[in-house]
Chains A and B, each alone.
Chain A
Amino acid sequence: MGVARDATQDEIKRSYRKLARKYHPDVSKEADAEARFKEVGEAYEVLKDPEKRAAYDQLGKQWKSGEEFRPPPDWDAGFEFRGGGYTAGDAGAHSDFFEELFGRGYAGPGGTQHRRAFRMRGDNHHAKVLIDLEDSFNGATRSISLRMPELTEDGHVTTRNRTLSVRIPKGIRPGQQIRLAGQGGPGLGGAESGDLYLEVEFTRHPLYRVDGADVYLDLPVTPWEAALGANIKVPTPAGNIDLKIPANSMQGRKLRVKGRGLTGKQPGDLYVVLQLTLPPADSDTARNLYKQMQEQLDFNPRAAMGVS
């Protein structure tokens, strides 16, 4: 947690709050935020309790493997970041972290919020699923591994790995969700299971960028293609197309290709953004051509700045 061994309880609390904000998975943009958030939460659980902290201080960093270490009787009590928080999904492997929603159960109509009824609907579970742009175009099936807490018959909680095959429908967009009814946590006392929600995110594509239903493509063009106009072949997620570059196009010009974005009921558009690319002056021919332009064109891009 980045605090000195002799830090006061107040210092620990301040440091914890700062790190919890920094790594909160709903706030942080860092890739390993969820794992860091859990680490910080667990560290704080130890350090905020003077008794546990004393045990930690005694054993130092080896406390986890130390065999002579006997935890206090209430060691496992009140781990807010276990059951109730972001539970350990297969964070590294698939990046489809899954989190258990709110430790408390769903209170049915007329039920009270904190009292556990004998019959209780299972928790809804949430996970993120990363797909490629191509999956949205072609549809896909994704294998999703989840680690689910499960109640055994004698009332103990174990975790069980499950793999689900999930159909990714064509035209799906970032931020949309897929609901799998009854695939969440199991209900208690014969009540129905909760649902599983998958939030869709796209992996970064080397060529395309997605904004809602629209797809953006940066297209390198030569100065003469931009200046004189041209018909060029352009890749799109659904295959190559011929695109007409209008004469006198400038750097950054956006050309819209209607209906060539993500598919769906209301298909998005493809925006081709021209990126003017200069040929290197690495030969006599190239240098001569640049020299000719210099001598024959009256062109000053800095005219508006009052300098030449």
Chain B
Amino acid sequence: MNEKDPTMPPIELIDEQTTFTLAELCRCCAVEAELIEALVEHGILEPAGQSGRHLCFPSSSLRRTRITLHLQRDLGVNLAGAALALDLLERIDELDARLRAISR
């Protein structure tokens, strides 16, 4: 049963300039504000600044929160461990990109 959806749903681009308020981030990641606060305390998320009274987070926070939750759920990693893993993953991505550049 392959159902075609002929409509083209409206899209929203989330780029490097996009920021999220705490409430938006909670909604996007389906988590509670307490968890986001804990992620900030562990340095996993860094607020990009404030818009009015509200903290705002860079768009990379979506991915970082998601990976943290996956590592927690699937591997039993705690937040300090997830922070370390995220830093190392980022570093590996950088090194991979450099390696690709020189080994073509």
Query: Per-position contact with B for A161-175: 1 when CB-CB < 8 Å, else 0?
Result: 111111101001101
Contacting pair A20 B75 (CB below 8 A)? yes
Q: A-contacting residues of B (Cβ < 8 Å)? A: 1-16, 27-32, 59, 62-63, 66-67, 69-71, 73-75, 85, 89, 92, 96-97, 100-101, 104
- The segment out of A4-12, A52-60, A68-76, A101-109 that lies at the interface is A101-109
Set of chain A residues within 8 Å of B12, measured between Cβ atoms? 178-181
| The one of B5, B16, B74, B97 that contacts A165, using a Cβ cutoff of 8 Å | B5
Chain A to chain B contacts (Cβ below 8 Å), 12 pairs = A21-B75, A25-B70, A84-B73, A85-B73, A106-B27, A123-B30, A162-B3, A164-B9, A176-B13, A179-B14, A182-B9, A194-B30
Question: How distant is A214 from chain B, measured CB to nearest CB, in Å?
Answer: 11
Question: How distant is A79 from chain B, measured CB to nearest CB, in Å?
Answer: 13
Question: How distant is B5 from chain A, measured CB to nearest CB, in Å?
Answer: 5
A291 at the interface (CB under 8 A from B): no
Query: Per-position contact with B for A81-113: 1 when CB-CB < 8 Å, else 0?
Result: 000110000000000000001101111000001
In the complex with contacts A84-B73, A199-B63, A176-B16 CB distance below 8 A: yes
A24 at the interface (CB under 8 A from B): yes
Contacting pair B15 A173 (CB below 8 A)? yes
Closest B residue by C-beta to A199 = B63
Contacting pair A101 B3 (CB below 8 A)? no
Cα(A80)–Cα(B100), bound, Å: 36
Contacting pair A181 B10 (CB below 8 A)? yes
Closest A residue by C-beta to B4 = A163
